[in-house]
Amino acid sequence: MFETESFKSMNFLRSLIPGLLLLCSSLATQGSIVNYHATGQFTSSDFPLDIAIGDRFSIDFSYDDSVLDSNPNNFGNFAGALRSLDFRLLPGFSTGQYAGGHLTVPGEVETIDGNGPLVPDRFYARADFGTFPPLGGYAFSGLLFVLDDPTDTSSITDSGGNPTLASVLNGPVVLSQFSQTTVRLDAVDKHGSAQGVVTSLTVVPEPVSGALMVLGASMLILLDRRRISRR
Ligand SMILES: [Ca+2]
Ligand SMILES: [Ca+2]
What pLDDT, in 10s, does the model give residues 93-133?
Answer: 999 999 999 999 999 999 999 998 899 999 999 999 999 99
State in Å: Cα 128 to ligand 2 middle.
27
Q: Within a domain: residue 214?
A: no
pLDDT of residue 221: 77
pLDDT of residue 225: 76
Q: For residues 25 and 98, which has the higher predicted lDDT (pLDDT)?
A: 98
Nearest bound ligand to the CA of residue 71: 1
Quick check: 1 pLDDT over 50? no
State in Å: Cα 157 to ligand 1 middle.
9
Quick check: 186 pLDDT over 60? yes
**Closest listed residue to residue 27, CA positions, set 203, 210, 164:** 210
Residue pair 58/196 in contact (Cβ under 8 Å)? The answer is no
The set of residues, in sequence order, having a beta carbon less than 8 Å from that of 101 and lying 6+ positions away, is 86, 87, 130, 131, 132, 133, 140
Q: Within a domain: residue 72?
A: yes
Q: Within a domain: residue 12?
A: no
pLDDT of residue 71: 97
Q: How confident is the model at residue 88 (pLDDT cuts 50, 70, 90)?
A: very high
Three-class HEC string of 61-107: EEEECCCECCCCCCEEEEEEEEEEEEEEECCCCCCCCCCCEEECCCE
Tens of pLDDT along 64-75? 999 999 999 999
**Spatial distance between the Cα atoms of 89 and 53, rounded to a whole number of angstroms:** 12
Highest mean pLDDT among 16-20, 57-61, 212-216: 57-61
State in Å: Cα 188 to ligand 1 middle.
30
State in Å: Cα 195 to ligand 1 middle.
28
Q: Within a domain: residue 160?
A: yes
pLDDT of residue 220: 76
Domain hosting 180: range is: 33-207
**Closest listed residue to residue 59, CA positions, set 91, 104, 90:** 90
Q: Within a domain: residue 125?
A: yes
Report the pLDDT averaged over residues 146-164.
Answer: 96
Amino acid at 164: T
Q: Within a domain: residue 217?
A: no
**Spatial distance between the Cα atoms of 57 and 43, rounded to a whole number of angstroms:** 11
Read off the pTM.
0.80
State in Å: Cα 128 to ligand 1 middle.
22
Average pLDDT, the chain: 89
Q: Within a domain: residue 228?
A: no
pLDDT over 70 for what percent of the chain? 83
Nearest bound ligand to the CA of residue 177: 2
Q: Within a domain: residue 22?
A: no
What total number of domains does the chain contain? 1
State in Å: Cα 28 to ligand 2 middle.
29
Ligand 1 ion local residues (Cβ < 5 A): 69, 71, 76, 158
Query: Lowest-pLDDT range, 17-21, 80-84, 143-147?
Result: 17-21
**Closest listed residue to residue 173, CA positions, set 129, 210, 121, 128:** 121
**Spatial distance between the Cα atoms of 102 and 206, rounded to a whole number of angstroms:** 19
